[in-house]
Amino acid sequence: MLAPLLVDPSATVLITDFDGTLSPIVGDPASARALDGVPDLLDRLAQHFATVAVVSGRPAAFLVERLGHPALPGPSRVHLVGLYGMEEVAPDGAVHLAAAAAPWLPVVAAVAARLRAATPSGVLIELKGATVTVHWRQVPMAEDRVVGMVAQEAATCGLTPHPGRASIELRPPIGVDKGTVVRDLTEGCRAACFLGDDLGDLPAFAALARRAAEDGTATVGVAVRDAETAIEVVDAADLEVDGPEGARTVLEWLERRAGS
């Protein structure tokens, strides 16, 4: 199933999520780390394939910190896209925020402050600049209350709620998501692959399928599953692997074959 990605690596695009795909899910989002060897593996892949990109709901600066290559000269060859496409890292390392997201920064900050003051103890409010995520992994009994509070905020502030793993996120309604990123990154390529694990990755899988239907691009969607993975994610993919270790195995296989 992965073989079409190797027909012409110089015309193939590889795109992956971060949390739950390259990094195990953890209770404290700030402690998430990619599996051992993944940053260098991505950089080696980028030497063979047309584009290698990490597209995440994390801020772009977080991706730079976790996937940087301090031992290598110059910037990483890996394209880093944060906040579902609202941020990206330029070749010089600067982080750029989408112009349409900028007016929403004070709105998001105000919502985060209100939620911090009102949510039950143990609920984590993660302010990420243009988005805010509310996590209840440590207090699962608070889910219904938190979801209701977030829905009330969304109804009054204009942000859009998006469910995730033991979390819900509020984002600006600006028509940017992982699907739009995949659409843009795969323009003109011969083959493309996306690896993801969560509901926020569904637009990426859908964009990959549309690319295949519209212009015949060879595409492979890889669901990185665990006990929490929604069935919609598995159904949207062509191939399933077990956890970040399985995703790393896929990427290692591609790197070996492309370099042989």
Q: What tens-digit pLDDT sequence spans the chain (260 residues)?
A: 999 999 999 999 999 999 999 999 988 888 999 999 999 999 999 999 999 999 999 999 999 999 975 444 444 589 999 999 999 998 888 899 999 999 999 999 999 999 999 999 999 999 999 999 999 999 999 999 999 999 999 999 999 999 988 999 999 999 999 999 999 999 999 999 999 999 999 999 999 999 999 999 999 999 999 998 999 999 999 999 999 999 999 999 999 999 87
- Domain of 58, CATH number, reads 3.40.50.1000
- Domain of residue 130, CATH code: 3.30.70.1020
75 and 129 fall within a common domain: no
User: Which H helix or E strand runs over 96?
Assistant: strand 95-97
Side-chain half-sphere exposure of 18, counting CA atoms within 13 A: 28
Question: Do 12 and 74 have their domain in common?
Answer: yes
Same domain, 35 and 77: yes
Same domain, 19 and 38: yes
Q: Last residue of a domain, which of 117, 146, 171?
A: 171
156 and 217 within one domain: no
Does 74 share its domain with 118? no
CA–CA gap between residue 250 and residue 35 (Å, rounded)? 13
91 and 52 within one domain: yes
Identify the domain boundary among 118, 138, 171: 171
Residues whose CB is less than 8 angstroms from the CB of residue 112 and which lie 6 or more positions away in sequence, other chains included? 125, 127, 132
Same domain for 194 and 222, yes or no, is yes
Name the catalytic one among 8, 17, 177, 215: 17
DSSP bridge partners of 242: 225
Backbone angles phi and psi of 47, in degrees to 5: -80, -15
For 52: left if phi > 0, alpha if psi spans -120 to 50, otherwise beta; the answer is beta
Domain boundary among 118, 153, 171: 171
Q: Is 198 a catalytic residue?
A: no
One domain for residues 195 and 122: no
Identify whether residues 144 and 88 lie together within a single domain: no
Helix H or strand E segment including 192: strand 191-196
- In the DSSP assignment, the letter for residue 207 is H
Number of structural domains the chain divides into: 2
CB 137 within 8 A of CB 167: yes
The residues near 144 (Cβ < 8 Å, ≥ 6 apart) are: none
> Which structural domain range is residue 151 located in?
102-171
Q: Are residues 35 and 88 located together in one domain of the fold?
A: yes
Question: Can you read off the two tokens belonging to residue 86?
Answer: 């609202």
